[in-house]
Structure 1
Amino acid sequence: METLNNIVLTIQNYMSNYVLIIALLGAGLWFSFRLGFIQVRGFGEGMRRTFGGLFSKKGEAGADGMSSFQALATAIAAQVGTGNIAGAATALAIGGPGAIFWMWIAAFLGMATIYAEAIMAQKYKTVGADGQVTGGPVYYIRAAFKGTFGKVLAGIFAILITLALGFMGNAVQSNSIAASFHTAFGIPQWIMGLVVAVIAIFVFMGGMKRIAKVTETIVPLMAALYIVGSLIVIIYNYKNIPYAFASIFIGAFSPSSVVGGAAGATVKLALTKGVARGLFSNEAGMGSTPHAHAVAKVNHPVEQGFVAMTGVFIDTFIVLNLTALVILTTKSIPTGKTGAELSQYAFSTLYGKGGAIFVAICMFFFAFSTIIGWYFFGQANIKYLFGPKAVKIYSVAAAVCVFLGSLAEVDLVWNMADCFNSLMVVPNILALFALSKVISQVHEDYFKNFKKIKK
């Protein structure tokens, strides 16, 4: 077991420090230039479609898919997870304040990549044997690579994402909930794990419609709770806001110049930790969120591309940024803490013991919504691999993983989840590059043809 764990760690370190940074940043740069920096030109349209969706009519999605906003909510549910509380803190503790700058760069470029993913998911979506719309990277991988190679690559992706997110990833999220509630309220972890598993299987068994209803309800509420709670701390420490932003910009290029920064932080650490955390947080290019964007009911694939970009903006530039600013304005980095513990400490500087409770409640919403989103992504691939009849078995197995994950951390399982998560990026990015011409055609069709007809 120890040998296997070391092998997995070696693969993961190589993937996260080299392959993913090159592949995901490369994809972001490629699609940013190829699509005329759509993340800037389409930002306003994305915000209009997103927040307009808050007030859209119920039932607009029909019986076989989701509304555009429900699809975004499901994607954000997966994107905004424990990483927004623990991941940002870890990046700050290891890479220093400058890591946040590189996180912004990764998110900005990632907006172009996720735009490409969403429009390909829309273009190649299909109706499954159960009569419901389904889609995702497995379908556009098959479109990009014909024959046996495409089938094998799609199959590998489907297996990796189901294991990484549907099973192992959800165990990780459950453990975060159980651990934070144990710290805040003294509740035994197995009890919290059982509660989460029961609620989860209730949602799972309700299918796409129940998942959509839960995510479109939870996501705005959890975002509002965290935004308000964070802003109170930041405003209370308003005198340190200039310091926070100065430390971010100076730390990106000269970490040693930042007073109270992370010990031993270097430009390389700031860049690698910031980029890695940003990419993993917003999931752009990883092939996960296209499953949600594929089932959205829109008139043109590009319309969902606009919405998908907004998801990255909300995840990184709002939620993850708030965590960073809470930690920086409270000057909590020198405490030597990391992960969720550092975030809890930062909030406790104002809320006292209530800081741990606040983080625990936010952790519950963030992690539980991620469990729902990741389950949905895994479900789409279970259907692809085994057909709709296998979904019930998958639902039970996923719920069991949620319960077992709450009991204790198993390093091998946790590391394998990260490793599989990294490996599934490769077939997804390869397909996107192979479909670059198609992506450009769909993109241009919207602006040259569809948009004019609509007017």
Structure 2
Amino acid sequence: MVEFITNVNSAVNGFVWGVPMLVLLVGTGILMTILTKFFQLSHLGHWFKNTVGGIFHDKHVTKHTEAGDQSISQFQSLCTALAATIGTGNIVGVASALVAGGPGAIFWMWVVAFFGMMTNYSENVLGIYYRRRNSRGEWSGGAMYYLKDGLGSYKGCKQIGAILATLFSAFCLLASFGIGNMSQVNSIAANMTSAFSIPATVTGIVLVLVGALVIVGGLKRIASVTEKLVPFMAIAYVLGALVIFFANISHVGAIFTAIFKGAFGLKAVGGGIVGSGVKLALTWGMKRGVFSNEAGLGSSVMVHSSSNVKEPVRQGMWGIFEVFADTMVVCTLTAFAVLSSGLIDLDTGAVLVDVSGSALVGQAFATVFGSFGPAFIAIAILLFAFSTVLGWSHYGSKACEYLFGTKSTIVYKVAFVLMIFIGCTMNLSLAWDLSDTFNGLMAIPNLIGVIALSPVVMKITKNYVARIIKKEDVKPMLSVFPEIQEEQEKAM
């Protein structure tokens, strides 16, 4: 039976993370980029000023809500979303892409991120536009809501919208236990044992206790932790990677040359023929790029929709920055650290040491930091992976709320916390493979929704540009629901 499930899962996984799905993911990003007139480039200064730039000059970005308000700040929503996206994919995923696809994989990772910015933007715009309040007064938004109320509002699509919304929620719920929990904490336990000889059971007990304190407290507590943890871990890791970058700055030209030549097959990858080299670089770069920033999966929309923001486009811009920070900054610096370390032959893409994954990145850091390098990576994985667990606990909770009602979420949270211990102490390779598949399956209904509702995204973007950037007197598009539209207009 296990063998049958494994074979079926392998076939499904081969599709959901295969070339057709990657084409759909990137294609959606290209479509949204064209429809929004290359918003990520044409309004680069505007979205940068109103996201990370706003932290320093706009009090509304970081302002915490009052006691009775169940929403979170824009900055907290970003940190919680980044908590889920900046994970082991930024370390292990990048190393895997380099090993399997050579330096050229990094170029295709950048391509995926560039177009993925607008996929994530579109998801967040739709998330805010179609969100509503639950019985506790909390904002509830995500792909399930814009599938049901957005796609479902089209003539003859009511049932299709409802079915796709249910499928998305079910896939998200199942994926949250695996890719968002057990696989992450297992990486932590393995690294703690390897770097510091700490038994997996001890790691499991500590993580369960800390996880229970944060997760059971709900989104407000998760957000209050992630807004402190994420900037700290991201800045510490970026600084460490920058030290390696500047220590090997003389290799920058050779690294860029290897990346571009590898991407277009001007040199063979790993000694293979040119054609297969391009395919490997393209496939692994795109695959790990999507896995890292999650643009197109519809996951981070659920936390972005809980923001106290009024404008859908404002939260959409945080989605652009999320992908930029995750892939263009963190993943790129990881790749530069590995490629400048001498552990990979820049001419052929061949790995010169018998290690992979986090161990490869650990050895790269060791070339500058000595024995502290692997320990630094172990701590980075601890912070990255555990923050991913916190972010995904909210995603799974929202999926559970949609499927079974608000009261069911406490049962989900308790089960989620208990799974942390199981993930630390057991070998669950099939469960991880299944959850990886469910993670990919989330993208199918979500992308159908984004593509079907692309005219809505285009209209909302056009409306925002006319009002805010061109200063025209136009009625704002804030919500599909008249009562929420009126409420938000009054609050502006």
Same fold (TM over 0.5): yes
Equivalent runs, 1:149-160 vs 2, <5 Å = 149-160=160-171
Q: Which residue of 1 aligns with 2:8?
A: 7
Deviation at 1:255, TM superposition (A): 6.0
- Please give the alpha-carbon distance, in whole angstroms, between the structure 1 residues aligned to 2:100 and 2:129: 41
Deviation at 1:263, TM superposition (A): 6.2
Task: Name which of structure 1's ranges 146-155 and 410-419 shifts more when overlaid on structure 2.
Answer: 146-155
Equivalent runs, 1:112-191 vs 2, <5 Å = 112-142=118-148, 143-145=150-152, 146-191=157-202
Q: Which has the higher contact order (CA 8 A, sep 6+)?
A: 1
Deviation at 1:79, TM superposition (A): 0.9
Task: Name which of structure 1's ranges 3-12 and 284-293 shifts more when overlaid on structure 2.
Answer: 3-12
- Please give the alpha-carbon distance, in whole angstroms, between the structure 1 residues aligned to 2:20 and 2:228: 37
- Please give the alpha-carbon distance, in whole angstroms, between the structure 2 residues aligned to 1:7 and 1:393: 30
- Please give the alpha-carbon distance, in whole angstroms, between the structure 1 residues aligned to 2:359 and 2:433: 20
1:197 maps to 2:217: no
Identify, as 1 or 2, the structure richer in helix. 1
Deviation at 1:309, TM superposition (A): 0.2
TM-score (norm 2): 0.89
Asked if the contact 1:175/1:405 (under 8 Å) is kept, the reply is: yes
- Please give the alpha-carbon distance, in whole angstroms, between the structure 2 residues aligned to 1:252 and 1:270: 6
Say which one has the larger Rg. 2
1:421 maps to 2:439: yes
Deviation at 1:236, TM superposition (A): 1.3
1:344 maps to 2:362: yes
Q: Which residue of 2 aligns with 1:279?
A: 290
- Please give the alpha-carbon distance, in whole angstroms, between the structure 1 residues aligned to 2:43 and 2:423: 40
Asked if the contact 2:178/2:432 (under 8 Å) is kept, the reply is: no
Asked if the contact 2:147/2:449 (under 8 Å) is kept, the reply is: yes
Q: Which residue of 1 aligns with 2:79?
A: 73
- Please give the alpha-carbon distance, in whole angstroms, between the structure 1 residues aligned to 2:43 and 2:296: 18
Task: Name which of structure 1's ranges 369-378 and 345-354 shifts more when overlaid on structure 2.
Answer: 345-354
Deviation at 1:128, TM superposition (A): 0.4
- Please give the alpha-carbon distance, in whole angstroms, between the structure 2 residues aligned to 1:372 and 1:263: 41
Structure 1 pair 420/213, CA: closer, same or farther in 2 (3 Å)?
same
Deviation at 1:373, TM superposition (A): 0.7
CA-to-aligned-CA distance 1:205-234 (integer Å, 9 cap, x gap)? 211211111111111100111011111112
Q: Which residue of 2 aligns with 1:356?
A: 374
CA-to-aligned-CA distance 1:124-162 (integer Å, 9 cap, x gap)? 011001111111000000121242222211111101011
Task: Name which of structure 1's ranges 167-176 and 59-68 shifts more when overlaid on structure 2.
Answer: 59-68
- Please give the alpha-carbon distance, in whole angstroms, between the structure 1 residues aligned to 2:271 and 2:201: 35
CA-to-aligned-CA distance 1:421-455 (integer Å, 9 cap, x gap)? 11110000001111111111111111123542699
Deviation at 1:354, TM superposition (A): 1.0
Deviation at 1:66, TM superposition (A): 1.2
Deviation at 1:53, TM superposition (A): 4.8
- Please give the alpha-carbon distance, in whole angstroms, between the structure 2 residues aligned to 1:147 and 1:439: 20
1:430 maps to 2:448: yes
Equivalent runs, 1:245-394 vs 2, <5 Å = 245-254=256-265, 256-257=267-268, 261=270, 266-333=277-344, 334=351, 335-394=353-412
Asked if the contact 1:72/1:307 (under 8 Å) is kept, the reply is: yes
Asked if the contact 2:466/2:472 (under 8 Å) is kept, the reply is: no
- Please give the alpha-carbon distance, in whole angstroms, between the structure 1 residues aligned to 2:177 and 2:237: 25
3-state secondary structure, aligned to 1:50: coil
The two structures, once aligned, show a CA RMSD in angstroms of: 1.8
Give the AA of the match of 2:41: V
Give the AA of the match of 1:276: K
Task: Name which of structure 1's ranges 294-303 and 306-315 shifts more when overlaid on structure 2.
Answer: 294-303
Task: Name which of structure 1's ranges 301-310 and 331-340 shifts more when overlaid on structure 2.
Answer: 331-340
Equivalent runs, 1:81-96 vs 2, <5 Å = 81-96=87-102
- Please give the alpha-carbon distance, in whole angstroms, between the structure 1 residues aligned to 2:192 and 2:370: 16
Asked if the contact 2:265/2:278 (under 8 Å) is kept, the reply is: yes
Structure 1 pair 94/336, CA: closer, same or farther in 2 (3 Å)?
farther
Structure 1 pair 189/253, CA: closer, same or farther in 2 (3 Å)?
same
Asked if the contact 2:292/2:327 (under 8 Å) is kept, the reply is: yes
Asked if the contact 2:124/2:304 (under 8 Å) is kept, the reply is: yes
Q: Which residue of 2 aligns with 1:102?
A: 108
CA-to-aligned-CA distance 1:255-308 (integer Å, 9 cap, x gap)? 6357xx576761000000001111111111111011111111223111111111
1:20 maps to 2:12: no
Task: Name which of structure 1's ranges 82-91 and 398-407 shifts more when overlaid on structure 2.
Answer: 398-407
CA-to-aligned-CA distance 1:334-390 (integer Å, 9 cap, x gap)? 224221121111112222221111001100110011111111111111111112211
Q: Which residue of 2 aligns with 1:61?
A: 65
CA-to-aligned-CA distance 1:392-440 (integer Å, 9 cap, x gap)? 1111111111111111332211101110011110000001111111111
- Please give the alpha-carbon distance, in whole angstroms, between the structure 2 residues aligned to 1:365 and 1:50: 24
- Please give the alpha-carbon distance, in whole angstroms, between the structure 2 residues aligned to 1:256 and 1:247: 8
TM-score (norm 1): 0.96
Deviation at 1:310, TM superposition (A): 0.4
Which of residues 414, 430, 437 in structure 2 aligns to 1:412? 430
1:440 maps to 2:446: no
Deviation at 1:65, TM superposition (A): 0.8
Dislocated runs of 4+, deviation >4 Å: 261-265
- Please give the alpha-carbon distance, in whole angstroms, between the structure 1 residues aligned to 2:180 and 2:75: 24
Task: Name which of structure 1's ranges 231-240 and 444-453 shifts more when overlaid on structure 2.
Answer: 444-453
3-state secondary structure, aligned to 1:206: coil
